[in-house]
Structure 1
């Protein structure tokens, strides 16, 4: 195969993979031994990110963009008139090793269109990972995109060679899936997820007794939802995400704004791309649910089915619950401090530690690093200075938005990117 043909395949199949954002590698640790090639650090190997938080240090490609399915939302659907290509197993292995040796990448993210059958496609993905591990002694990060409908036996084998596995559920609701991908069944997505979850648990338990038990998907599993292809509200999306976190032990759920790729009456029109800010609001909500102790029903419910685009979800929740504020910084517990807009978890720990020695005032809080431009409307502290507070939600929101200087907006945009 000529270099030009390999380059052409790479252009086609790397471009086709750009719609999948679930390529975080956090959580895996494969320490290099016996002079093998590569190393996955404990904090994950993705050290470089785009401005919106996406990882750029993995070789991210499809095995092929041929597909037997005709999902309306997918650029690789069989009815789409696009240039097609397919890598051979050894070609992907060689690309990964050559790119790694040149320090272009630190790992591999491999997905694929489905050709012939789910099992046939999954076997080829596994063959790449197996060759890298056993023949090339590659010890770097490998993320395999699990193929919906693949057998339990193949899912078990995939976890022996991959650091992370993921099955994209694509559309957040079953009704949306039936509308846009009627050839697929919801069980095709959830059955592999359940197998991976159970195998991770089983291998961890066996490892406690038998030290030689091999690692199984040490970075866990993740999934991705396409946002905006159908009419789901933010409430529908986050309730679905909560279901997958709870029932399948997901490490991450990713939210990818739909990019219109087809002129179809079932889909949004060409040119109506989902705003990046909606993605960010969903990631922020995800963060609050996982790390800040919020329940999904507190943030999204029948009265508030969609997130406020103007302000972050914690501030939006606080404005709807002003009866819980102001909070006394020197008396409130950790759980309540974490709910104050402008106070992150690191600041919560700093406040709790600092107030053991003295009561905290505005200067202390400023030095700790909390965002006082938001927090000041919701807290009390040790200060003789008393300022008038107008506890009407609309006015507080207006003042916060009005006082958001260019510097704050820049810093805030940077914070938003972290949620990806």
Structure 2
């Protein structure tokens, strides 16, 4: 089935408008700037982005908005009601047909759908759910679906989204209530978190219900995620990390995404004229990863910050190590998993390899060099039977050697 020029024209507008939602994308993507009018967001091809399915597979998604028209006037959003951007709108049937068309051509494996608010939150949520209903019930679509839900919508509509989607998102938007009230007065933090809580309860109820499980449809098996915009307000990284930790603990989110604010045309007075460094977004992802998978407490990372901000030149695990020299060096043959995870340059996979390898005998320096991704990073922090650092962190020389310019940093070093 061919795609009409009219549909392509809408797709160009609505795929570009979706680029500012990071809720299905990984960090380290192309820089975003709303003012250049170029490209289709952080995507490869028109509206196609990479995301991760609940089973860990990297998949391609059609990432679009149902419409970029909106009755809300959020100061940080290019699609706000007072913006002069070009507008477009798909019908639910058009989105479903486009998704199926791309799927059959093997361009994508699923759909990420969001929308501006049209008429009312309930009406918009009905339209979003209708796309998923058509795909699942009429087209028997088995691909991945991620729906952005609208917290102001009726609870039954948000629940309907969970019945059809693999994952749902409810965006918290900004790190603090103060910023949300100032920049998005139509939105309410209590309402946002209330919707998150109800979704969490429904997901938990499904997991707990073992009766007739084989015949029951899945309910948001990929859980829920959220997004915080970084740099639109004056909130520090410490505040962002505390907010994320609170959301993880109370709502059991699968992921908090951090999206660097992008300056927009016709910006409202008081909005930043410059975008924050993209590496700030990345450092927050690294800090987030450390608290979730490496055993770090948020306060451990926050205590290493200068003026509440993460170091842009150095990843937060190395910063912690340099400020906690008494913890090192670590004997790789005797250390616990928790201790090994604190070593700069060692990721979760590297720790698993070290633990597996030492079951067969004591690891020597050459063994560690074969296992580790970067023995250069690890060697100042570890000991083996034939290796011990001669002078551990006794000057700024090691810090200078370990640091690299921000633009040269491996964006996925912490998660390796």
Residue 241 of structure 1, CA deviation: 0.6
Aligned mates of 1:45, 1:283 — CA distance in 2: 19
C-alpha deviations, 1:150-201, integer Å up to 9, x for none? Answer: 1111111111111110011111111110111112111231122111100001
Task: Describe the superposition over 1:319-343 as per-residue Cα deviations: whole angstroms up to 9, x where unpaired.
Answer: 1100111111122111111101111
Matched, 1:13 2:14: yes
Q: How does 1:217-256 map to 2 (within 5 A)?
A: 217-256=220-259
**3-state secondary structure, aligned to 1:253:** strand
- Work out whether residues 67 and 89 of structure 2, in 8 Å CA contact, stay in contact via their aligned partners in 1: yes
Instruction: Give yes or no for contact 2:75–2:183 (8 Å, CA) kept in 1.
Output: yes
- Tell me how far apart the structure 1 counterparts of residues 291 and 282 of structure 2 sit (CA, whole Å): 14
Question: Cα gap change, 1:41/1:295 in structure 2, threshold over 3 Å: closer, same or farther?
Answer: closer
Contact 2:379 2:389 in 1 (8 A): no
1:101 aligns with 2:88: no
Give the TM-score normalised by the residue count of structure 1: 0.87
Residue in 2 that maps onto 1:30 = none
- Note if contact 1:171-1:227 (Cα within 8 Å) is conserved in structure 2: yes
CA–CA separation in structure 1 for the residues paired with 2:113 and 2:352: 39
User: 2-side partners of 1:46 and 1:387: how far apart?
Assistant: 39
**Aligned mates of 1:11, 1:386 — CA distance in 2:** 58
1:49-98 deviation digits (Å, cap 9, x = unpaired): xxxxxxxx211111111111100000000000111111111111111111
- Which residue does 1:300 correspond to in 2? 302
Q: 1:105-164 deviations in whole A, cap 9, x for unaligned? A: 111111000011111100000011001100011110111100121111111111111111
Q: Deviations over 1:23-63 (max 9, x none)?
A: 159xxxxxxxxxxxxxx97635543xxxxxxxxx2111111
Paired residues for 1:10-409 under 5 Å: 10-23=11-24, 43=55, 46-47=58-59, 57-208=60-211, 210-261=213-264, 262-269=266-273, 272-301=274-303, 304=306, 305-383=308-386, 388-392=390-394, 394-401=396-403
Determine the C-alpha separation between the residues in 2 that align with 1:332 and 1:386.
15
Distance across 2 between alignment mates of 1:106 and 1:367: 37
Aligned to 1:50: none
Please say if residues 304 and 320 of structure 2, whose CA atoms lie closer than 8 Å, have aligned partners that are also in contact: no
Pair 1:8–1:246, CA change in 2 (3 A): same
5+ residue gaps, structure 1, are 26-39, 48-56
Cα RMSD between the aligned structures?
A: 2.3
Query: What is the CA–CA distance in structure 1 between the aligned matches of 2:147 and 2:389, rounded to whole Å?
Result: 56
Q: What is the CA–CA distance in structure 1 between the aligned matches of 2:356 and 2:17, rounded to whole Å?
A: 49
Q: CA deviation at 1:210?
A: 4.6
Contact 2:381/2:392 (CA < 8 Å) preserved in 1?
no
Where in structure 2 are there 5+ consecutive unaligned residues?
A: 27-51
Structure 1 residue 267 displacement after superposition: 1.4
For 1:256 and 1:229, locate their aligned partners in 2 and report how far apart those are by CA, in whole Å.
Answer: 10
SS at match of 1:203: helix
Aligned equivalents of 2:413, 2:401: Cα separation in 1: 20
Aligned pair count reads 387
- The 1-side partners of 2:395 and 2:295 are apart by 23
Q: Is the 8 A contact 2:347 2:413 kept in 1?
A: no
> TM-score, normalization: structure 2?
0.87
Of 237-246 and 341-350, more deviation after overlay is shown by 341-350
Query: After superposition, what is the alpha-carbon deviation per residue over 1:342-372, rounded to whole angstroms, capped at 9, x for unaligned?
Result: 1112222222232233222211110112422
State the distance in 2 between where 1:386 and 1:223 align.
44
Q: Distance in 2 between matches of 1:180 and 1:362?
A: 54
